[in-house]
Each structure stands twice: as C-alpha cells, then as structure tokens.
Amino acid sequence: MVASVSSPSKTTQSNIVTSGEKESVKVKIGLETHVQLITNSKLFCSCRNPVTLEKEPEPNTLVCDVCLGMPGTKPRVNEKVIEYAIKVALALNCEVAARTFFSRKTYFYPDMNKNFQITQYEIPIAKGGWVEIEGDDGKRKRIRIRRVHIEEDPAKLVHKEGHTLGDYNRAGVPLLEIVTEPDFSSPKEARAYLQKLVQILEYLGIYDSTTQATVKSDANISIVYNGMQGERVELKNISGTKEIERALSYEVIRQVNVFRRGGAVARETRNWDENAGVSRPMRMKEEEEEYGYIFEPDLPMVEFERKFIEKIKASLPELPDEKRKRFVKQYSLKEKTAESLTSEMEIADLFEKLVSHVSVKNAVAWTLVLLKTLNYHNIKYREAGIKDEWFIELVRAYENKEYSDLVTEEILRRMVEEKQPLEKIVKKYKYPKLGEGVKLEEIVENVIEENRKAVEDYVAGRMEALNFLVGQVMRATKGAADPKKVREVMISKLENQKKENK
C-alpha cells in the first residue's frame, strides 16, 4: 500500500504531487440514495412505520401478513407516499410521470421472504431534475437527477453468534430512491449534494434527521489516472451525509493506488465498512436484467391528474435556495449568513419572527449565537425544546439593554441546556440586570487599588493594561456592567490618578 497521500480530499481536484512526480486524477461520482420517509404507516399495509418512534420497537412487533410477505396477501399503496414522492419530484425540478406503476424485483435473500421487492423500474414516478450545490470551484453547480422512485425497505437482518435473525419491523417502510447522474467531481461535492438533499427533504417535512429515519447511499465511482480510464466501482452501504465524503475519499485513494502499482481498476461492487473505515469487495455486480423485473399484478397503474399535481405544487414551502436568496435581498445579508439562517426551516422562521421585534442586526447576531449553541450540543432547533417566545423575549431584553452581551449569551446557553424560559433562568442563577445593584465607581476604585502594577503600566502608556483593568471590573460585576460604561469610568479614574501623580 502506498501511504504517501495524506489528505484524501486533495486528490480529487486534478493533480496529486507525490515524491516529485506529477499525477493527474479525475474523479467521476454518481449517487443512489435511499431515504426512509416519515409517514405514519408503512408503504403497502397499515402497520405503524417504526422510524418515527422514540425508541426502536421490539423485533417483529410492527408486522402483519402483508409486510411479512405471506402468500395470498395483497398490498395497497399508501397515498401519502405518492404525495411525498411528488413533492420531492417537484422540489428537485423533475418531470412527474403522467402515470406510474410498480414492479417486482426478484431476488433470493431472507430480508424479503416473498423473494421480491416491490419497486419501480420501467417508469419511475419522476425523472430529469436537478439540485444546485456549491461546487469545488466555489461556484454554483447543478447536479442532474436521473430518477426518483418509490420502493419498500426490506427487513433488517441481525447477525449474532453464528445465527442470522430477521426483524421485519423495517419490512415495508416507504423508501424513496433518488438517483443522480455522475456529475460529482469530488467526494466533497457528493457530500454537499447529500446535505442539500436532506435539507430540502426536511423543508418538505417528509424526512427528519432527528428521528430514526435513515439516509443511505450507494455510489458509482470511477477515476481517470494519468489518462488511463478505470472501470466503474459501486460502493455500497454508506450511511448519512458525513460518511459519504470519508467513504468516497477512501475509495479514490484506493483506486489511485491500484494504478500506481501498475494495475487497472476492475469493475466490481464493494461494501463500505464504516467501523473499519475501508471498502471491501462484495460480489460481482448483477446486471439489472438479472433481477427479472416483472410488472406487479397486485397493484394498479397510478395516474395523476394535473389538478392533483398542481395542488401539491401549491402546497410546497419556500425551499432553501429561494429562502436564502430572499434573505440576502430582504435583510441585506451576506450569502454565508443567509445560508446559516436558512439551514433549518424552523430557524429561518424563528429569525423572521424575531426580526419583527428587534433590529435586523440583533436578530442576525443572536440567531447565529443560538445556532452555534445548538451545533455545540449537536441538536436541531426543532428538537431543542425551546419556545420561540423565550428566545424572542431574551433578545428583546438584550436590545432594551437589560442584560449585557455576556449575560445574554450565558442565559441563552442555559436556555438550551435546561429548556427553561428567561424568567426561570434569571431567577435560578440570579443574573443581574445591566447596572442593577452595581456600584460601578466603587468596583473600579477597588480594581485600581488591587492592580497597582497594571495602573503603572497604563500611566506609562501601555494600552493593554487598560483592557486588563476593564476585564477585571467585568469579572467583578459578573458581566452585569455595560463594558462601554466600565471603560469610560475606568479611563476617567485613571486620568485623575495621572494628574494627581504629577
């Protein structure tokens, strides 16, 4: 194994420079992503969809004859899933099929004991769309969507002490499979796309990363190394939005190393082992024909009236890109700021509520502090258990100069940690209001008395001594003083001392 390449993401642009020789690497990636939808019931029966439950239910407790695949049972389509799929299709700028039907994908494996998966093959519900991301060159880039189709999730197999156990709770959970064209030129772009995709799905309310619902991707990846074209490798089983970059970066390096050793990358299917951080060969890829797709005779052809689609279109929320652009214009924000404020729909809504109460400047600043605090705890606003009013009340109090920067930030942190309103937190921790009970003059005098060395430094013209002294006062007041005011008082006292000394 050649171990000279340290940073995977650097290999993906075009040139890798190692031991003095120049190599050129071009990367081409396409993604197939499976998203579990957060419907109440499963795709073809009325069993509860387990993905939105707080805890994972006991194995095989959310099952019926249909999702167990008993002979003679008949599936019925959950219309919510059709509606969700069309929402996604429209949000991804796809063309929605006029009519669609389901097919059986035949295979033999115990995760699907009727020996076929109900999916869509010949006519997917939607095709031909695009998603905009920020490309490696920093410019906006369109990633083409090849197709979107509906299918059922198979059961979960648990391998334990030499046995394999089947949990059919997952069997029949509705999935959307979203397939891109091979438009990514780096693992980083693939990650940017997945994050954008998840953001859009969350805006649409059909997927929620704070639940147990998963996003899993398979990637097609090929490279051209010093002009030599490698075969396409399929990399399976990549969970989530962060793992994608790691898995693909590993695979790029692996393929580069095959060429470096004088070999050629062969066409194969590999499995991504998240724990080990490596990809391993799985099996030679079946051709699509080998699945023996046939039309699903138990389900009807679904036809969509224009009116139905128009109605769904009208119900779509403002999507992340539009919202970001509007924020930039309406509130004169920088792109990056608008991007942060629209990262979660609930945060964007909160910001817009807040801005009707306080200045844009304060609304932006404090919403960003809130975001930072949430990120630190690795949670989304919608799961934080904070009420909009609590946050608005706090920022209003700040704007009315009731609390200093320091105290406001600390209250906010407590609010996130303890899920309590302003009043309760202030009471519990006895946060002082700005200027309240603070005998500023007295404190300043004490600080001057106790820090003679710093005062001498100030007199000698060293300005950092002033900052130190102000800091001491802020500390003594536990942040309850207005730093500007402290500075003023401090300077006037010090200047008096200077005069006295003369």
Question: Contact positions toward Mn ion, by CB under 5 A?
Answer: 177
The contact mask relative to Zn ion for 50-89 (x = CB under 5 A, - = no) is: --------------x-xx----------------------
Work out what residue 397 binds among Zn ion, Mn ion, none; the CB cut-off runs from 5 to 8 Å by kind.
none
Task: Decide which of Zn ion, Mn ion, none touches 394; Cβ closer than 5 to 8 Å per partner kind.
Answer: none
Residue 47 contacts Zn ion per CB under 5 A? yes
Q: How far is the CB of 64 from Zn ion (least distance, A)?
A: 3
Nearer to Mn ion, 177 or 393 (CB): 177
3-state SS assignment for residue 368: helix
Closest CA to 356 of 316, 388, 324: 388
Sequence-distant (≥ 6) Cβ neighbours of residue 337 within 8 angstroms? 364, 368
Q: How many CB atoms lie within 10 A of CB 141?
A: 19
Q: Minimum distance between the CB of residue 119 and Mn ion, rounded to whole angstroms?
A: 6
Which residue's CB is nearer to Zn ion, number 66 or number 425?
A: 66
Size of the site for Zn ion (CB under 5 A): 5
Which of Zn ion, Mn ion, none binds 177 (CB below 5-8 Å, type-dependent)?
Mn ion
Q: Which is nearer to Mn ion, 149 or 414 (CB)?
A: 149
Q: How far is the CB of 243 from Mn ion (least distance, A)?
A: 18
Task: Provide the token pair at 59.
Answer: 């194995």
Out of Mn ion, Zn ion, none, which partner does residue 64 contact, by CB within 5 to 8 A per kind?
A: Zn ion
Which residue's CB is nearer to Zn ion, number 31 or number 175?
175
CA of residue 14 relative to chain centroid, distance: 28
Complex with Zn ion: residue 86 or 155, whichever CB lies closer? 155
Q: Which stretch binds Zn ion (CB under 5 A): 38-46, 332-340, 430-438, 459-467?
A: 38-46
Closest to Zn ion by CB, 102 vs 351, is 102
Decide which of Mn ion, Zn ion, none touches 118; Cβ closer than 5 to 8 Å per partner kind: none
Residue 477 DSSP SS3 = coil
Q: Which is nearer to Zn ion, 78 or 241 (CB)?
A: 78
Rounded Cα gap, residues 411 and 390, in angstroms: 11
Q: Closest distance between Zn ion and the C-beta of residue 169, in Å?
A: 9
Q: Choose the contact partner of 38 out of Mn ion, Zn ion, none; CB within 5 to 8 A by kind.
A: none
Question: Judged by CB, which is closer to Mn ion: 8, or 154?
Answer: 154
Q: How far is CA 143 from CA 89, 212, 223, 382, in A?
A: 14, 27, 18, 29
What is the spatial distance between Cα 14 and Cα 223, in angstroms, rounded to a whole number? 10
Give me the least distance between CB of 168 and Zn ion, in Å please: 8
Are the C-beta atoms of 320 and 203 separated by less than 8 Å?
yes
By beta-carbon proximity to Zn ion, the closer residue of 173 and 395 is 173
As measured in angstroms, the least distance from the Cβ of 77 to Zn ion is: 13
Does the protein bind Zn ion through residue 45 (CB under 5 A)? yes
Q: Does position 112 bind Zn ion by CB under 5 A?
A: no
* Binding window for Zn ion (CB under 5 A); candidates: 15-23, 40-48, 314-322, 343-351: 40-48
461, burial (CB in 10 Å: exposed 0-12, middle 13-18, buried 19+): exposed
Nearest to residue 439, comparing CAs of 476, 389, 407?
A: 476
- 8 Å CB contact between 469 and 458: yes
CA distance 393 to 400: 10
Minimum separation from the CB atom of position 53 to Mn ion (A): 23
Q: Which residue is nearest to Mn ion (CB)?
A: 177
User: Which tokens hold the place of 227?
Assistant: 């002009």
The DSSP 8-state label assigned to residue 14 in this structure reads S
The nearest distance, CB 40 to Zn ion, in angstroms, is 13
State in angstroms the smallest separation of the CB of 269 from Mn ion: 14
Question: Which of Zn ion, Mn ion, none is residue 45 near (CB under 5 to 8 Å by kind)?
Answer: Zn ion
Of the ranges 4-12, 45-53, 109-117, 365-373, which one interacts with Zn ion (CB under 5 A)?
A: 45-53
CB atoms within 10 A of CB 120: 23
Concatenate the DSSP letters of all residues of 25-79 into one string: EEEEEEEEEEEE---SB-SSS-SBPGGGSSSPPPTT-S--TTTTT-TT------H
Q: How far is residue 412's CA from residue 392's CA, in Å, rounded to a whole number?
A: 11
Nearer to Mn ion, 296 or 402 (CB): 296
Reported for 412-421, long-range contacts at CB under 8 A and 24+ positions apart, including other chains, are 412/366, 412/369, 412/370, 412/373, 413/373, 415/386, 415/390, 415/391, 416/370, 416/373, 416/374, 416/377, 416/384, 416/386, 417/377, 419/384, 419/385, 419/386, 420/390, 421/387, 421/389, 421/390, 421/393
Q: In the complex, what is the shortest distance from the CB of residue 347 to Zn ion, in angstroms, rounded to a whole number? A: 36
Residues near Zn ion (CB under 5 A) are 45, 47, 64, 66-67
